[in-house]
Structure 1
Amino acid sequence: MDEKNEMKKLWWGIAFGLLAIAAAVAAWFISGGTVDTQGLAILVALGILMIVLTVVKVHAGHHYFMGMALVGVVMVVAGLLGVISGTIPDEGGILITCGLIMAFVGGIWLARSEDKRIVDERSQKIGSYGTAYSWYITFMAVILFFWLDMLDLLKVQVSTILGSLLFLMIGSALFFQWYYNRRGDVY
């Protein structure tokens, strides 16, 4: 039963990652190649990152984290070479950023001691609760941004709002997971 759940998680993560990549490709073809390529590069990078992180999380072996860190380093080098040569001026920064994130996360997991890598029921529950509370906070922020826009109290670009929501979501999930892990449990 446990292996069946692991495979289900793996396929859902891969499906969502492929969906993000397919959305970027579809947007490119629908626009006839005139759409903002930076946004598409972000979508493709997020899709690839989701696939890689899903595989790593489901099969959390030492070699997966090593591979993740190495893919991150390759992305950074490719982004730097692209920016230096001028072949990918806009997307190079995104490639470098995603590569740094992958190399950092893979390196952190590799640097952790064996006892901290163990995933048990308590750590899964803490992860679930931390993510749920993060979702609640992000949902409230979306409602707040909606009403600020509807009442013409805030004039910001959509990219600024999406970026702030992204950092709020990730930051609050990490905070709640750290907080509950430090407390020992969610109750």
Structure 2
Amino acid sequence: MQRRQSYLLILGILFILAGIALPYTGIATESPASASLISAGIAMLIVTAVTAMRSRDEVPSDERTKKIGAYGITYSWLLTLVLILIFFWIDYLDLAVLGLQAVLGVLLFTMVLSARVFQWFLFRKGDV
């Protein structure tokens, strides 16, 4: 386990313990603050465990992986710009009523998922 992963593991455990102890201290008697800390701690533990298991077999980082990662994110950014342009024209021509939350949600998921898909495709291809 790398030093960064062990720090995240310790931080996740501290978040969980703070979330459990928070209602008993009297500082925050509401449960959302406690639940948020516990959820953040569990998320940190899960992410740390998954990255620790995945990083056993792969090279941490080299020029090729950085280049493929950068190109994947660049392609994702370009796809997101095209989607923003499509949303603009849909709104400008009054083809549909677009809610702000829906548009931002679609853009967020498009950015994240397309970046991973482009990186996965470029890694399978072997190079850019």
Same fold? TM cut 0.5? yes
Q: State the Cα distance separating 1:172 from its structure 2 match.
A: 0.5
1:182 aligned residue: 124
**Identical aligned residues as a percent:** 35
For 1:64, the equivalent position in structure 2 comes to 4
Distance 1:115 1:157 in 2: 44
- Give the Cα separation in 1 of the matches to 2:46 and 2:60: 20
Residues of 2 paired with 1:155 and 1:73: CA distance?
A: 45
Point out which structure has higher relative CO (alpha carbons under 8 A, 6+ apart).
Answer: 2
Where do 5+ consecutive residues of structure 1 fail to align?
Answer: 1-60
Superposition deviation, residue 138 in structure 1? 0.8
* Counterpart-to-counterpart distance in 1, 2:118 and 2:105: 20
Partner amino acid for 1:134? Answer: S
The Cα offsets for residues 94-122 of structure 1, whole Å up to 9 and x where unpaired, read as x83x6565444322221124441420000
The 1:168/1:86 distance shift into structure 2, 3 A limit, reads same
Structure 2 gaps of 5+ residues are 24-28
**Residues 69 and 105 in structure 1, CA contact (< 8 A), matched pair in contact too:** no
1:170 maps to 112
Q: How many residues align?
A: 121
SS of 1:116's partner is coil
- Residues 130, 156 of structure 1: alpha-carbon distance in 2 compared, 3 angstrom cutoff: same
**C-alpha separation between the residues in 1 aligned to 2:108 and 2:10?**
25
TM-score when normalising by structure 1? 0.52
Aligned-partner residue type, residue 156 of structure 1: L
Paired with 1:180 and 1:104, the residues of 2 have a C-alpha distance of 27
1:136 to 78, 83, 106: 78
SS at match of 1:141: helix
Closer/same/farther in 2, CA of residues 155 and 118 from structure 1, 3 Å limit? same
Deviates more, 1:163-172 or 1:147-156: 147-156
Match runs of 1:22-171 below 5 Å: 62-72=2-12, 78=19, 86-88=30-32, 96=39, 102-171=44-113
* SS across alignment from 1:152: coil
